Structures are given as structure tokens and as C-alpha cells.
């Protein structure tokens, strides 16, 4: 039945070229990176779900590019945020959206840390766009659980939003300055 569906739908060449296509797909796996290097990048990715990663000017063949700095150390902020996600899930384990978000976090761990998808590019910033909602949801639920008083919760949330905005604005300004100067 499986092969019949491929033949009827005209996708038999895709099935026959599976080995070649699989090689193309796995080209972004970090087959040559150690687990430690993937862990550095994953923790930096977790940090990037909330805080902008640092970038810098790099000249390639005489052309200016703005690239992420290479990740070569553990991100303490990433470790703290990952712990916060786990604590949030434990405290909110009966909440269905917390369950869904935590499953998405586990999927990010499997895909980015264990398999190493995308780690050859160093940074995983693109993947922070895919997975950040799950992390942000769990950060929010943790704050809501910790600060039961609504006024305190709102005040802490606003202070954290302003802090994240101020911290990230520096990198946004750097990117704009680069764009204005070179483009």
C-alpha cells in the first residue's frame, strides 16, 4: 500500500532517491562536533529565546557581513533559563499548554542537542524563532505561579519586559548601525 501510494501520486523518484535526499538533509547535522560543542550552542540557543546573541562585523572576500560570535563556552543564563523551564513544568504539570510547551522543549533538546541539527552553522538563532514560544510560555507560567498577587505579578513582568527590551536594544542598534554604514 505504501509503495502504491508513492506510484499513484507520482513520487516514486523521491522514494528511489531517498538515500541521496537523506544525505542532503543530514548535511546540517553536527556529525563532526563534540557533544560539548553542541551543548555550548544549545545553551546559547536557550539564552537566545529571551536575549539577543552578540554579533560582530566580519569581512569575507572584501564584503562586510554581520555574524554571530562563535559559541565556545557554557551560557550561565542558558542554564538558569533551562532550569526555570523544568521548574515551571513541574509546578504547572496539570496545565495542558504547559505540557504541550514542555514537549516542544524536549523536541528542541532532541533535535538541536542530541541530533545536532543546525549546529554546523554555529548559533541556532533561526531555531530560537521556532521554539521560543514554548520557552516563553513556561517562563510566563513560572512567574505566574511564583507571584500569586496580581499586582506584584504584573509589576515583575513589566520590569522583566523592560529589562529584556533594554538588553536587546543594544544589539538591535548594532545591527542598524552596521546596515546604515555598509548598506
Tell me, letter by letter, the H, E, C secondary structure of the chain: CHHHHHHHCCCHHHHHCHHHHHHHHHHHCCCCCCHHHHHHHHHHHHHHCCCCCCEEEEEECCEEEEEECCCCCCCHHHHHHHHHHHHHHHHCCCCHHHHHHHHHHHHHHHHHHHHCCCHHHCCCHHHHHHHHHHHHHHHHHHHHHHCCCHHHHHHHHHHHHHHHHHHHHHHHHHHHHHHHHHC
pLDDT of residue 86: 97
List of the chain residues with pLDDT < 50: none
pLDDT of residue 119: 77
Q: Report the share of the chain in percent with pLDDT over 90.
A: 54
pLDDT of residue 57: 87
Rounded alpha-carbon distances, angstroms, from residue 48 to 6, 18, 124, 178, 179 = 41, 34, 9, 20, 21
Nearest to 103 by CA among 75, 80, 135: 135
Condensed to tens digits (0 to 9), the pLDDT of residues 29-66 reads 556 788 898 999 999 999 999 998 888 888 888 899 88
pLDDT of residue 104: 96
pLDDT of residue 92: 97
Amino acid at each position: 500500500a505504501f509503495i502504491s501510494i508513492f506510484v499513484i501520486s507520482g513520487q516514486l523518484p523521491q522514494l528511489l532517491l531517498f538515500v541521496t535526499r537523506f544525505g542532503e538533509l543530514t548535511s546540517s547535522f553536527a556529525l563532526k562536533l563534540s557533544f560539548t560543542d553542541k551543548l555550548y550552542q544549545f545553551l546559547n540557543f536557550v539564552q537566545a529565546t529571551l536575549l539577543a546573541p552578540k554579533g560582530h562585523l566580519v569581512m569575507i572576500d572584501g564584503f562586510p557581513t554581520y555574524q554571530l560570535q562563535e559559541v565556545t563556552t557554557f551560557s550561565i543564563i542558558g542554564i538558569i533559563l533551562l532550569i526555570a523551564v523544568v521548574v515551571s513544568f513541574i509546578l504547572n504539570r496539570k496545565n495542558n499548554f504547559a505540557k504541550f510547551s514542555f514537549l516542544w522543549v524536549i523536541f528542541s533538546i532532541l533535535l538541536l542537542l542530541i541530533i545536532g541539527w543546525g549546529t554546523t552553522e554555529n548559533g541556532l538563532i533561526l531555531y530560537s524563532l521556532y521554539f521560543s514560544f514554548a520557552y516563553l510560555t513556561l517562563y510566563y507560567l513560572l512567574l505566574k505561579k511564583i507571584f500569586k498577587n496580581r499586582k506584584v505579578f504584573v509589576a515583575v513582568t513589566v520590569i522583566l519586559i523592560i529589562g529584556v527590551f533594554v538588553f536587546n536594544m543594544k544589539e538591535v542598534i548594532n545591527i542598524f548601525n552596521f546596515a546604515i554604514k555598509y548598506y
